[in-house]
Structure 1
Amino acid sequence: MRIHRLAVPLLATGILAALSAPTSATTATAARTDRWTGTWASAVQRPMGATWQGKNWSLDGFANSSLRQVVRISAGGSQLRVRLSNRYGTGPLRLTGATVAKAGPGASTVPGTTRNLTFRHLASVAVPAGQDAVSDATPLRTTALERLTITLYFATPTGPATFHESAAATTYRASGEHRTDPSAGAFRDESHSSYYLTGVDVAGTSTRSAVVAFGDSITDGVSSTRNADNRYPDQLAERVAASGRRLSVVNAGLSGNRLLADSECCGVSALHRFRHDVLSQPGVRTVIVSQGLNDLGFNPDVTAAQLIAGHRQLITAAHRYGVRIVGGTITPMKGSMLDSARGELVRQQVNQWIRTSGEYDAVVDFAAVLADPADPTALRSSYDAGDALHPNDAGLAALAAAIDISSL
């Protein structure tokens, strides 16, 4: 939810068509009917410089570097595949090789679990600018809530890197080729962002479906404890796993993201990325939407009617693909950098529509969960990460607990 350097209003003709059009690689219908289910995901954005969280590696990219990233999957299987993106690259992304292994402490891996990833049966792949790549099926038996390590090696310069700025997890870098190295010793550099990695899918178990959490920095988990997997979708995944339901939960949150407008630093709008980040997720069944807070904070002229129209476009697109859609109310912002009297009025109007219109298939009242009982326009102090806007780990746990699993 940072100040945007560029914002382009979007409520334009043709957005709904873009939301509903199939991707070039796969349609949402195919994503729901093939044998793969998304078990971890990340939305990506264009390269940019340092943020309030510090420097990242996206503008410089990588050369003769091994990049090690740790993810916690929400559901297991007997096979997996990894999805990578060069969506914002300036030229072909030449990946020399990649591995997946079960994660040990920090940048280490569990000896004996490393598997080489291939792409059309080759160790290396060149991903054209603007496109994605999916690895071949790799045999590795996994279980729900298990941590995996993906290591990418780039022998030649990559150019600027497609990435996810607020990963809430540490990415490690080593000089040279260390794809199969189980130790952490060579991985001396650390970053708060993730790079190129957009998804992990599983197969080889009973049919299951994916739930996509779609939102801004609150969904992204920017205020959660790093490397603790305490984002609200993580904690929802724990509830789902404990319940025994055949569902995975993936996180398509993007810090600073708006419902209606693109931004150079915070990604394309929710309307523009809904098709790729939600409808094309393998096995998608349900999406939980939490969007609008940044529109209120950074567009002083936005109206309730415009935000409601945006939400309706998401609902229409989801239903066109047979995806169930759950609406989350917009959370409190009093005393934060987004706060304004007019914005608060619009927030209340939009929340009233989400709660009472019946247009979403189900509703989760995130605003009520986080609100101070003495002042519903403010964040409860015990849930405040320190900026009167973002919930801490306890607040994120409360959001996860508020979701009726049977509604998914």
Structure 2
Amino acid sequence: MPEMYSKWVACWGNATSITDRKEATYAKDLTLRYPIRACFSGNKLRFHFSNLTGTEPVTISEAYVAKDVPTPITFGGHTSGTIPAGEEILSDEIAFDVTAGETLDVSLYFAGFTQMNAGTAITGPLSGGKYSYGNFAKSAELPDNLTRKTNWIYFLNTVDILTEEKNFALVCFGDSITAQDWPDYLTLRCAREGFNNVAIIRRAVSGTRILREYSCITYAAYGLKGATRFPIEMNVAGARAVIVQHGINDIIHPVGVEVNKFRPWSDMPTADDLINGVRSLYITHARKLGLKVYSGTLLPIYGWRTYNENRDIVRMAFNQWLRTAPEFDGCVDFDKAVRGHENPKAFSSGFDSGDHLHPSARAYEAMAECVPEELLT
């Protein structure tokens, strides 16, 4: 092993949560392929696979990583591996030369009936994959007539690379805002501006809340609450810091049982509830891991279908704490980067995706641009 490669660092990663409960929850004879951008050079890889939210074991029949010629991913020397229900597994270390900037394809094949209950949906210019009916895990190209694109990342949770000591990971923790585009734009910014020693690791699930989670299949894909997610998702090799941008769903979800029996008003938090949740669930655990913790302010919600003044009062009070609390190492003021000048309760012109909650592509780029350089060097 060259001495220059001595440190394991996560170079790609996502959360694993409960997938959306549609009519079909099983697959068979299925190939998944995910492109992985390598931000570091190195000479070994290892792969984390998660069945955290599955209720049955999942067997990966074959797995490969490829630039040109596919290299088998093995598990205890075997070409197949089983992920127990509710658990995560780590592959063998795979000798594989990587040059920073290359894109690797990770292909997984599932021969038997497989419960597709563990994964997460992500978007962005670097995100997504493909699936094919049949075993094409070793094929250079997937057949067009049997293949479709997907934004669901199933089972593949994190990719680590054996790399140089100077390299590190920055974790982006949150909900749908972070499951969407800004972490990808931050990765592209790092490449463009020469921040070559940092990997942006996304740990985000659409719909999740800090304080609560749903127990019905209608909202199951909104995922696990912060107390459950955070300790699991901070398992990131080489992590130096985490940006926490979480809490808007706690504020916007409750509507009362007369409107939706799964969303009682008793779920509605105060700003102090959110503050205490972040302190006890996130900051305390991150400090135990030796991580720096940066807050991320919550974005405008004016015009969202459940908007009212009381919700915005909670959001703004929580944001004020996120900006000023001495418990943090700093604040990434996403709200300031995307809000309007004339009406700061709303998105700036061109920054609203149209639903008054999620940013537009331009706004996601602005979010990436506002991340301080101190987090990237």
What is the Cα deviation at residue 244 of structure 1?
A: 3.8
Alpha carbons of 1:175 and 1:245: their partners in 2 closer, same or farther (altered >3 Å)? closer
What is the Cα deviation at residue 162 of structure 1?
A: 1.0
TM-align CA RMSD: 2.0
What is the Cα deviation at residue 190 of structure 1?
A: 3.5
| Equivalent in the alignment of 2:134 | 176
Matched, 1:220 2:188: no
| 8 Å Cα contact 1:86-1:129 kept in structure 2 | yes
SS at match of 2:170: strand
| 8 Å Cα contact 2:49-2:156 kept in structure 1 | yes
| 8 Å Cα contact 1:332-1:389 kept in structure 2 | yes
Distance 1:189 1:329 in 2: 36
What is the Cα deviation at residue 289 of structure 1?
A: 0.6
Q: Which moved more, 1:171-180 or 1:191-200?
A: 171-180
Opposite residue 353 of structure 2, the aligned amino acid is A
SS at match of 1:79: strand
Which deviations, in whole Å up to 9, do the C-alpha atoms of 1:164-210 show, x marking residues without a partner? 13455443222332111001216423333121111111113344221
1:82 to 42, 47, 60: 47
What TM-score does the superposition give when structure 2 sets the normalisation length?
0.87
Distance 2:198 2:224 in 1: 28
Distance 1:244 1:123 in 2: 36
Alpha carbons of 1:118 and 1:397: their partners in 2 closer, same or farther (altered >3 Å)? same
| 8 Å Cα contact 2:45-2:161 kept in structure 1 | yes
Distance 2:97 2:7 in 1: 16
Which deviations, in whole Å up to 9, do the C-alpha atoms of 1:135-186 show, x marking residues without a partner? 1122333344432221111111113431113455443222332111001216
Which deviations, in whole Å up to 9, do the C-alpha atoms of 1:40-99 show, x marking residues without a partner? 11111123334xxxx8xxx53321222222233443422212211112223221111101
1:262 to 213, 235, 245: 213
| 8 Å Cα contact 1:97-1:152 kept in structure 2 | yes
Counting only pairs closer than 5 Å after superposition, residues 188-227 of structure 1 correspond to structure 2 as 188-221=147-180
What is the Cα deviation at residue 316 of structure 1?
A: 1.6
What is the Cα deviation at residue 245 of structure 1?
A: 4.6
Counting only pairs closer than 5 Å after superposition, residues 4-403 of structure 1 correspond to structure 2 as 35-50=7-22, 59-102=24-67, 112-168=68-124, 169-185=127-143, 187-221=146-180, 231-241=181-191, 242-263=193-214, 264-278=220-234, 280-299=235-254, 300=265, 301-313=268-280, 314-403=282-371
Distance 2:37 2:26 in 1: 24
Distance 1:133 1:277 in 2: 14
| 8 Å Cα contact 2:244-2:293 kept in structure 1 | yes
Distance 2:288 2:123 in 1: 31
What is the Cα deviation at residue 381 of structure 1?
A: 2.1
Distance 1:145 1:258 in 2: 34
What TM-score does the superposition give when structure 1 sets the normalisation length?
0.80
SS at match of 2:49: strand
Distance 1:134 1:70 in 2: 19
Distance 1:184 1:86 in 2: 25
Opposite residue 383 of structure 1, the aligned amino acid is F
SS at match of 1:360: coil
Alpha carbons of 1:364 and 1:189: their partners in 2 closer, same or farther (altered >3 Å)? closer
Distance 1:315 1:355 in 2: 15
| Structure 1: runs of 5 or more not aligned | 1-33, 103-111, 222-230
| 8 Å Cα contact 2:136-2:142 kept in structure 1 | no
Distance 2:305 2:210 in 1: 18
Alpha carbons of 1:77 and 1:286: their partners in 2 closer, same or farther (altered >3 Å)? same
| 8 Å Cα contact 2:11-2:201 kept in structure 1 | yes
* Number of corresponding residues: 349
SS at match of 1:275: helix
Alpha carbons of 1:303 and 1:62: their partners in 2 closer, same or farther (altered >3 Å)? same
Opposite residue 326 of structure 1, the aligned amino acid is Y
Which deviations, in whole Å up to 9, do the C-alpha atoms of 1:8-47 show, x marking residues without a partner? xxxxxxxxxxxxxxxxxxxxxxxxxx83111111111123
Opposite residue 198 of structure 1, the aligned amino acid is N
What is the Cα deviation at residue 216 of structure 1?
A: 1.0
